[in-house]
Amino acid sequence: MRGAFSVRYAVGMSAEFAPNKGKSINTVVQGVRYLRLPVKTRLIEVGDNLFELLTEYVAPHLLPGDILFVSEKIVCITQGRIIHRDAVQTSWLARFLASKVRNYSGTPQFRGLGHGTAPAMQLLIEEAGYPRVLFAAGVSAMTRPLGISGAFYYLVGKQAKSIDCPMSWTIEEFKEYAKRAPLRPGGVARDIKKKFNVETVIVDANYRGAFSLGKSTSAISERFIRELLRDNPAGQDNEMTPFFLVRKA
């Protein structure tokens, strides 16, 4: 089958991993070739248990030396960290800052509303705190005319940056929901490592890039994560591959 990659296990079993549309399983990072193996699941909902999902979908495929990447969206869903956008009480500051977000709505460059909605910006403010957001907005306003981008998100921090609304705009069940930041993502990654004996990264990845929210070990660098996931192999639509294994080829 075109686009499929078969991995044979030492015990004689075989499993087939198909890349998501427009993506590749293979990539090279710092001269080393890696396989990025997406693990397909059913629709995951609030009330599902993350560790039960990992036992069902991921554990059968694990090999020594693998690195497990877990979408932070799925961590949030299983933690109940989503909220209907109409339930968010937005402030004037959230409405003002959301109006300044360039998400290219209405153009071919549009990839999602992100923080360009007042509910998402309100949750970002609540996560980072008003003083920090005001400081970040002031710095951004001064540096953007100089061609310096990204100051706002750098200053509010990765947890706040991970907030999104609507959370997954191509999946019908979640298109009206905002996503808060995951709780203790570093602890979640370490708990997964302890249970399944696999180094784990809780990752936020999209068409703009990727960064970790939690890691089971500091030996996995942010540079490695950015280069490994620069094309977002898990996809940005309704692929339903919230877990993927990274393995040296």
If one compares 236 and 176, the residue with the highest pLDDT of the two is 176
Q: Please determine, for residue 124, whether its predicted confidence score (pLDDT) is greater than 60.
A: yes
Among residues 179, 196, 226, the one where a domain terminates is 179
Q: Are residues 92 and 148 in the same domain?
A: yes
Beta strands 209-215; 199-206: pairing state: antiparallel
* Domain coverage including residue 92: 84-179
What CATH number should be reported for the domain holding residue 24? 3.30.1330.100
- What is the pLDDT at residue 2? 34
Number of domains, the chain: 2
What is the CA angle 104-109-115, rounded to 5?
A: 40
Q: Structure pTM?
A: 0.86
Burial bucket for residue 194 (CB in 10 Å: 0-12, 13-18, 19+): exposed
Q: Are residues 90 and 173 in the same domain?
A: yes
Q: Average pLDDT, stretch 162-184?
A: 83
Query: CA gyration radius for the chain?
Result: 19
Provide the H-helix boundaries in the chain. Answer: 50-53, 72-78, 92-99, 118-128, 130-143, 151-156, 158-161, 185-196, 222-228
Q: How many CB atoms lie within 10 A of CB 154?
A: 13
Average pLDDT, the chain: 87
Query: What does the pLDDT look like over 55-78, one tens digit per residue?
Result: 999 999 999 999 999 999 999 999
Q: Are residues 119 and 170 in the same domain?
A: yes
Picking from 163, 20, 188, 1, the residue whose alpha carbon sits closest to that of residue 88 is 163
Q: Average pLDDT, stretch 132-152?
A: 93
C-beta separation of 112 from 103 below 8 A: yes
Q: Please determine, for residue 19, whether its predicted confidence score (pLDDT) is greater than 90.
A: no
Please report, for residues 53, 120, 123, 130, 165, the alpha-carbon distance to residue 91 in angstroms, rounded to integers and kept in the order given.
Answer: 37, 11, 10, 11, 16
